[in-house]
A and B are shown apart, each in its own frame.
Chain A
Amino acid sequence: MLVTEEPATLTENKLSCGRKIFLIASPLSLLFLLGGYFFCGAELAAWVDKLSPGCFFARATGLKCPGCGGTRALKALLEGDILRCLQFNAFWIPTIILLLWEYLKTLLQWRKISFSPLLESFNIYLLVTYAGLTVFWAIARNIFGW
């Protein structure tokens, strides 16, 4: 599926600064979350709850944005309650899948491994689906109260 080759001029792509940050910061964030959960989950959850200013968009308009419930979801995650975390904001599921996919893409790009045409097509379909899902989620959660 994966094709290792010298990248063609058109697809030659060095890792951008943002991608480098993503490559390093993602495992660190995960370690921070795991460390927080194992060593001081309750304290960290209380700290997150206390410091979060809440959603300004929801306050200003009364509508939910796609990220609304994110802080409560993070708090639930720190308390080890994954189901409650997803109940607060189910948009985390496709988002985490896509972030994992982007991380894999960044790793491959770093190792100068290019996608086969099939995986390239899959990548495009995945991105288009996620974009559609974002718009759907933003509208549907305000209609159905999700």
Chain B
Amino acid sequence: MNENTNLVKPDNNLVWSILCTVLCCLPLGIVAIIKSCSVDGLWASGQHEQAIAAAKSAKKFALWGAIGWVICVIAYVAFIAIFVGFSALSAESVTTTTTTSPF
């Protein structure tokens, strides 16, 4: 009797891997797609443990890709906010200097 009869076929997480690749623009999505695409083949060939591991890896890579993208967006927004803030401050100080100049 097969010892893996209680195992359930895992979701290959391909949709999330594709969304991560197409939307998040990170190479982690490519790795996630490759892992996802291998899940069904491994399962069909009876390598159930490897299929489950591949599905977990795919999910992990897609998740890290998405998290990486969110971090990049936050850093980008913070950079823009800081840049705009400094620009506004320097413009204000130039105006103040000009208006208080004795010359």
Contact = CB atoms under 8 A, between A and B. Distances in A.
A102 B76 contact: no
Interface string A119-130: 011011001101
Nearest to B62: A18
B38 A66 contact: no
Contacts of A131: 33-34, 36-38
Interface in B1-42: 2, 4-9, 11-16, 18, 21-27, 29-30, 33-34, 36-38, 40-41
A98 interface: yes
B72 interface: yes
Interface centre among B16, B18, B24, B44 (most CB of A within 10 A): B18
Given A10-B5, A11-B9, A99-B18, A65 B44 contact: no
Q: Does more than half of chain B's interface fall in helix, strand or loop, or is it mixed?
A: helix
28 contacts: A9-B5, A10-B2, A10-B48, A12-B8, A13-B11, A16-B11, A18-B13, A19-B11, A53-B76, A56-B76, A57-B25, A57-B27, A58-B25, A65-B27, A67-B29, A70-B22, A70-B25, A102-B14, A120-B44, A123-B40, A124-B40, A124-B41, A127-B37, A127-B38, A130-B33, A130-B37, A131-B37, A134-B30
